[in-house]
Amino acid sequence: MTSGEHAAEPESFVIRLQSGERLHYLDWGAPGALRDPSREPGDPSIAPGDPPPLPLVLVHGIAQTAWSWAPVARRMCAVTRVLALDLRGHGLSDAPRSGYDLETLALDVLTVMSGNGWGVDVGGPPAVLAGHGFGAQICVTAAASRPGSVAGVALLDGGWEEVGEQTRSTPAEFLATIAEPPEVLASMDAFLADRRDFDPGTWDSDQERAARAQVDQKHAGHVGSVVRAGVLRQVVDAMFAYQPLEALAKVAAPVVILVAEAATADDEDERERRLALVDVTRARGEAALPPPRVVRFPGAGHNLMRYRAAEVADELTALLGSAATSARTPDDPA
């Protein structure tokens, strides 16, 4: 464990929506102070009179859970208060038949914030949101719908591209590509071995817990995703419907985009992703908004929280600082 990590286990909480469904989230706690960038990494102290730190809310991607953020959350709770939620239909949250559009999922995030005293709906301070993949789309949607509640947005390898163009697929085709092979689901041991082999060097107890949270036991020792097929279809439909240029042109808060890049910059897919970033910058400029900060991770896989946790935490810490400087809490427009 490095000096930037926190050893304590998170507390587990459930918040009940007005519709009755329960959302589960992990509260990683906080040191009560925001790290001064001029101090050594891991020193969470701040000077007297400095403003209190903005809270950080972490949103996982498709078919993941709150535990996927553990490597980053352990570092960030030495900086500020950190929550990571299970989206509806994922992890320990309830799985209603509907409500998997981006607007409803964004409202779920804002409801968890309100339950902790954050955001304009309860007269509290804004939070910084960080989302991975599909979770990035949700964070952008939340920031666009409640500008006074969100002081900054971090997009981890998602949220700035049209998924259909990025993947060159339809929702049905995409679903087929993410289906697990039968041999991976043959047993819990097989599933864990598959996840470990993604990158053995970053496999640890947190990664094992994150993997176990994705599946449950079925018949004859087999495992299956905790995300039901009907839920997954709705999530993928929402992901494909997302329009990044329109959405990001409505986010006044600072935006940082963390990009997992292919090993070669000459790759055609990589060139198209770079063009998508240019389009986002142009769209924000046309809306009189500052460009996003773009941070590239050459050779890194999609799961930046696992593969580049320390660097992701550094970028989130920087975003907390810039968000605190520019944060405003006006009433949302009627």
Domain boundaries, the chain: 11-168+229-326
Rounded Cα gap, residues 297 and 306, in angstroms: 13
**pLDDT interval class at 4 (50, 70, 90):** very low
Q: Region of 133 please: left (phi>0), alpha (psi -120 to 50) or beta.
A: left
Tell me what the mean pLDDT of segment 312-332 comes to: 81
Question: Pick from 216, 218, 206, 289: which is nearest to 247 by CA?
Answer: 289
Is residue 107 scored above 70 in pLDDT? yes
For residue 327, the model assigns a pLDDT of 72
For residue 200, the model assigns a pLDDT of 96
Tell me what the mean pLDDT of segment 287-298 comes to: 96
CA 25 to chain centre: 13
- In this prediction the pTM is 0.91
Poorest-pLDDT segment among 62-66, 273-277, 283-287, 292-296: 273-277
- pLDDT digit string (tens) for 136-159? 999 999 999 999 999 999 999 999
Task: Give the burial class of 135: count Cβ atoms within 10 A of its Cβ; 0-12 exposed, 13-18 middle, 19 or more buried.
Answer: buried
Is residue 210 scored above 90 in pLDDT? yes
- pLDDT digit string (tens) for 62-102? 999 999 999 999 999 999 999 999 999 999 999 999 999 99
CATH architecture of the domain with range 11-168+229-326: 3-Layer(aba) Sandwich (3.40)
For residue 325, the model assigns a pLDDT of 87
Helices (H), the chain: 70-76, 102-115, 134-145, 163-167, 171-178, 188-198, 205-214, 229-241, 244-248, 268-286, 304-307, 309-326
Is residue 329 scored above 90 in pLDDT? no
Rounded Cα gap, residues 142 and 249, in angstroms: 13
**pLDDT interval class at 267 (50, 70, 90):** confident
Task: Give the burial class of 245: count Cβ atoms within 10 A of its Cβ; 0-12 exposed, 13-18 middle, 19 or more buried.
Answer: middle
% of the chain beyond a pLDDT of 70: 88
CA 122 to chain centre: 23
**pLDDT interval class at 32 (50, 70, 90):** low
For residue 45, the model assigns a pLDDT of 44
**pLDDT interval class at 35 (50, 70, 90):** very low
Tell me what the mean pLDDT of segment 123-137 comes to: 98
